[in-house]
Amino acid sequence: MTLAAAMTRPEAETTIKDGQRLMGRAERHGDELRVAPAAPGPHWAETAARALEWAFAGDPGLDRIVLRVDGPAPDPRALPCLVIEDGALTAYRAGFYQDPGLWLAHAPTGRIQTGLIPGPDGRDHPRRAPAPRGVCYERFDPVAGVTVSFRAVDPERDLDRFHKWMNDGRVAHFWELAQPRDALAEYLHERAADPHTYPLIGCFDGDEAGYFETYWVREDRLGPYYDSGPWDRGWHALIGERRHLGRNKTGAWIRGLTHYLFLDCPMTENIMGEPRADNAKLLAYADTMAYEKLKEFDFPHKRSALMQCRRDRFFAEVRL
């Protein structure tokens, strides 16, 4: 179940629909949310999840809410974010947004393995699951008012746009990949085949906007520059379409990408970044996105800022 759109009207009640299908109604009274599914049965959890999203998205100060569902007593196991407190079904904001079943479009790819396998320069790491295919994540961002989604790169389908983006002087200044089509085709195929890297295309309201390269840090060049954990993730990003630049959408993709990586692997506690130390525009978003600068260091080709986003801080501080 992927929640592609949130109902963020400020009213005390809302009608919940999936396209043209009526799912039910929700009413909020203080710290209590009453949900009335349109029909009894197993779909109550999807209706409740959308109602919770409406409540949390509409009130940034709401951290906890009691859920009441009309009809037969629901099985709380159908909605993993729920806990039972004082006999009542209760949802916490941080727990709700960590439920991968609501926005992740594939099974989580992180998985527990027995022991580590040899990695580069002694950086042993877990075995990695195959990279996902197709759409990976989709969520309506109520702050920016757009649906953010990520899909796996298709080297053939995406080569033309990738070539255009990389040969844009604005992008080339940071990526240094202003190369001909054949070289970039090889680059995309290598990234798609590498188990430590997930190359993605990011979209706003379904429109392809940019390229996002996510990776497991232990096997990456960043691994030896700090005490990297076996489940740490990192990312590189570019917005190739100029119409999708701007503070509003930049905030949306940083929130979405970080959220996706935490959902993708429940063992991941840190999302790391290593932007150029002089990338002032990107670094300006750090604090509001729960990223903190640990240090500056030198790669062979650039001076970088080591950035870290901790899971607990992200879900405690960032409005999703």
Which positions are catalytic?
274
Cβ atoms of 228 and 259 within 8 Å: the answer is: no
- Quote the CA–CA distance of 268 and 217 in Å, as a whole number: 11
For the beta carbon of residue 292, count every other beta carbon within 10 angstroms: 13
C-alpha to C-alpha distances, 76 to 32, 68, 82, 83, 215, nearest whole angstrom: 16, 11, 6, 8, 34
Tokens of 189: 């195929």
Using left for φ > 0, alpha for ψ between -120 and 50, and beta otherwise, residue 317 falls in alpha
Specify the residue for token string 């053939």.
156
By CB neighbour count within 10 A (0-12 exposed, 13-18 middle, 19+ buried), where does 223 fall? Answer: buried
For the beta carbon of residue 196, count every other beta carbon within 10 angstroms: 18
- Quote the CA–CA distance of 309 and 286 in Å, as a whole number: 9
For the beta carbon of residue 8, count every other beta carbon within 10 angstroms: 17
By CB neighbour count within 10 A (0-12 exposed, 13-18 middle, 19+ buried), where does 76 fall? Answer: middle
The DSSP secondary-structure symbol of 288 reads G
- Quote the CA–CA distance of 62 and 311 in Å, as a whole number: 19
DSSP assignment of 182-201, as one string? HHHHHHHHHHHH-TTEEEEE
- Quote the CA–CA distance of 103 and 135 in Å, as a whole number: 11
